[in-house]
Structure 1
Amino acid sequence: MIRAVLVDVDGVLVTGRPKDGLHWSHDLERDLGIAPELLQRQFFTQHWTDVVTGRAGLCETLAPVLAEIAPSVSSEALLEYWFARDARLEEAVLQDIATLRRNGLTVALASNQEHLRARYLSERLSLAGHVDRFYYSAAIGARKPDSAFYRHIERDLGAPSGALLLIDDTIENVSAARQAGWRAVHWTTPRRLVDIVAETGE
């Protein structure tokens, strides 16, 4: 029997720019003069694992990279731009989360995030008020698909692995959850969470 549903954030609950759903960096070069592929190569490829697992701070790591590739842009300015444009909430998912909670299920977010965006999601987008818990990689010290991420959640919820259901748009994360004994569904197209829970079984 499912006791808790763990919902991924990016790609499931949050889907790009509020106005059109495009990736947050779609107009980055036009707006801030930073080529997305350069930012990917110089920052995300080299530093993101340390940042998203809490081993390095986002601003402290981003600042020297921007000093090289975009000296006129501060890390604070880029983060404000990024977070505001990576904030489209899927209302149907929020509605289904509310329904599942009313039906007695624990619903939590389970996401690879660093501390600043996790706070933005929780407070500015008010996601903390929609779920029972928010598990994210920088706070845990491990990211999906690392098994330590899943084991941390099991311990915190005090639930057996078979009672947990992950809904995630990344197949590697889904496969890792299944290997950990969880139930898991690969989110490829928008669906109703209530239907997924019903289909997955009690």
Structure 2
Amino acid sequence: MPDRIIVWDFDGVLNANVVDGRFIWADRLEEDWGIDTRAMVAHLFDPGRIGQIMRGQIDLGDALAQWFTEAGHQIDVEAFLAYWFARDAHPDFGVMAHLNRPEARHVIGTNNEARRADYIEREMGFGARVERIFASGRLGCAKPAPAYFDHIEAWSGAAAEAHVLIDDTERNVAAALDRGWHGFHFTDANRSGLGAFLDQLP
């Protein structure tokens, strides 16, 4: 199928930054910044707030600045974000090798707000590795919402069955399968089977 579109999730797939269910970039927050990690995470990842951040309705920097002020920290937001994004960059070169497959078009489909999406695209160089990065913070919607997949299909102009989602979140893969895409739920246990899955696609 010459117009196959492989949609790669970023965190947990192309980027190996999740270990035992935790984002390892935050492991040294207290030591490096004097920050109570649990308190910051509780603020940023409040169910209502994180959804708005991921969809671009609240700026990540503004959310951090609010918490820093409330917690009594005098921390430069831009310096902190630079630290965060650099420590959160762990390219998985074994998975990335599949981006060289010539029989498909490759894009990234990620639930990331716009600031980190820019970092992934420019500083990490993924903008040169894929045709496009579909980030929730740029689109105003996030996986597994149908609107997210609509954006990709509208861009590609290809039939639903031409699309393939590689994602470490099962509900995202389920949503893709429900609309006629192919899907692979990527985990540490089955990562060795990714190549075989891609090889057998119609």
For normalisation by structure 1, the TM-score amounts to: 0.90
Q: Counterpart in 2 of 1:125?
A: 124
Q: Which runs of 5 or more structure 2 residues have no equivalent in the other structure?
A: none
| Letter matched to residue 86 of structure 2 | A
Residue 184 of structure 1 aligns to a residue whose secondary structure is strand
Describe how 1:65-76 pairs up with structure 2 within 5 A.
65-76=67-78
Aligned pair partner of 1:61 in 63, 73, 94: 63
Structure 1 contact 66–74 (Cα < 8 Å) conserved: no
Q: Does 2:51 align with 1:49?
A: yes
Q: CA deviation at 1:104?
A: 3.1
CA separation in 1, counterparts of 2:118 and 2:124? 9
Q: Counterpart in 2 of 1:111?
A: 110
Q: Does 2:76 align with 1:77?
A: no
CA separation in 2, counterparts of 1:70 and 1:166? 42
Give per-residue Cα distances to partners, 1:158-179, cap 9 Å, x unaligned: 0111110000001111111111
Residue 24 of structure 1 aligns to a residue whose secondary structure is helix
Residue 25 of structure 1 aligns to a residue whose secondary structure is helix
Residues 39 and 22 (structure 1), Cα distance of their counterparts in 2 relative to 1, 3 Å cut: closer
Aligned pair partner of 1:87 in 83, 86, 89: 89
Give the RMSD, CA atoms, in angstroms.
Answer: 1.8
Residues 170 and 22 (structure 1), Cα distance of their counterparts in 2 relative to 1, 3 Å cut: closer
Give per-residue Cα distances to partners, 1:104-161, cap 9 Å, x unaligned: 3101000001111111111111011111111111111100111110111011110111
Q: CA deviation at 1:196?
A: 2.2
Q: CA deviation at 1:192?
A: 6.2
| Letter matched to residue 35 of structure 2 | I
Q: CA deviation at 1:194?
A: 3.6
Q: CA deviation at 1:77?
A: 2.4
Structure 1 contact 94–130 (Cα < 8 Å) conserved: no
How many residues align? The count is: 195
| Letter matched to residue 166 of structure 1 | L
Q: Counterpart in 2 of 1:139?
A: 138
Describe how 1:1-202 pairs up with structure 2 within 5 A.
1=1, 3-16=4-17, 23-45=24-46, 46-98=48-100, 100=101, 103-189=102-188, 190-191=191-192, 193-199=194-200, 201-202=201-202
CA separation in 1, counterparts of 2:72 and 2:29? 12
Residue 25 of structure 2 aligns to a residue whose secondary structure is coil
Worse-superposed segment, 187-196 or 115-124: 187-196
Residue 87 of structure 1 aligns to a residue whose secondary structure is coil
Give per-residue Cα distances to partners, 1:63-82, cap 9 Å, x unaligned: 11111125222222221111
| Letter matched to residue 109 of structure 2 | A
Worse-superposed segment, 44-53 or 170-179: 44-53
Residues 26 and 70 (structure 1), Cα distance of their counterparts in 2 relative to 1, 3 Å cut: farther
| Letter matched to residue 38 of structure 1 | A
For normalisation by structure 2, the TM-score amounts to: 0.90
